[in-house]
Amino acid sequence: MADRGTGPSVLLLHGQPGVHEHLFPVAERLWGDHRTLNVDRPGYGRSTLGPISFGDQADLFAKLLRERGCSPAVVVAHSLAGAVALLMASLHPDVVSGLVLVASVGGDGSVELPDRLMAAPLIGGPLSAASLALYGLLGPLAPRVGRMRSLQGNVPVAPTLSLLGDRRAFLAEQRELIATVEEVQAAASVVGCPTVVLQGDADALVVPAAGRDLADRIPASRYVELPGQGHLIVRDDPVAVADAVRSLEP
């Protein structure tokens, strides 16, 4: 975990798979006037915990904020971590002053057939591993093909097999996502804090319609669609994410 800066607190949660450094581009733009906590979620990076449920993650990070005197905080969550953030805001409203949900799950259309197949018994493990390998190796090559340049914001910059190291946590979270999708959507409807839903109009993993549906479910939300951005907004447009955090301040 990296705890830096002074000022209002911001908790940054990476997606699936991922590590806390993935949100450093956002944190760097907040350090001048905010305190940021970048964490490795259970099962990833240098976390000493194995994969745990989204609800248990919500409890874990709420406890972290209280123990470090960072409550209440704005929670920035990318992709699948949006499920954790929504549960945090609904179960522990005292520790969450606002949400910035970036290319987040939770809306209709954010969980599709490929997600269900990767969570399925027997075939889920091999499919998840194959998907991580193909995404890491072939994904970076796709934008170099003329008609696939729009995928650039959805894939790693350079080919890598490092994602395979996260396959156990990836599979566990795929299954958790399928099992709790209705719970996460119900949590969205009772979130009481101000929320910004950031969505790229070129997102190939969580489509814009899913982002709009998520924003519609959250009572005090604002939907922002970023032209030309894909799924990796925290990498490619961290200024927009930092601006969304500041927009939630009184």
Average pLDDT, consecutive stretches of 10 residues, N- to C-terminus, the chain (250 residues): 95 96 97 96 95 98 97 97 98 98 97 95 95 91 73 88 93 97 97 98 96 97 96 97 94
The pLDDT of residue 158 is 87
Q: Model pTM?
A: 0.96
Tell me how far apart the alpha carbons of residues 170 and 220 are, in angstroms, rounded to a whole number.
31
C-alpha dist (Å) from residue 127 to 29, 105, 131, 165: 37, 20, 6, 15
User: Would you state the structure tokens that stand for residue 178, as one six-digit string?
Assistant: 């399928």
Strand ranges (DSSP E) for 22-95?
35-39, 73-78
The pLDDT of residue 146 is 62
b/e per residue 129-141 (b: at least 16 CB within 10 A): bebbeebbeebbe
Query: May I ask the CATH class of domain 2-108+181-247?
Result: alpha beta
Of 52, 113, 125, nearest to 84 (Cα)? 52
Neighbours of 61 (CB within 10 A): 26
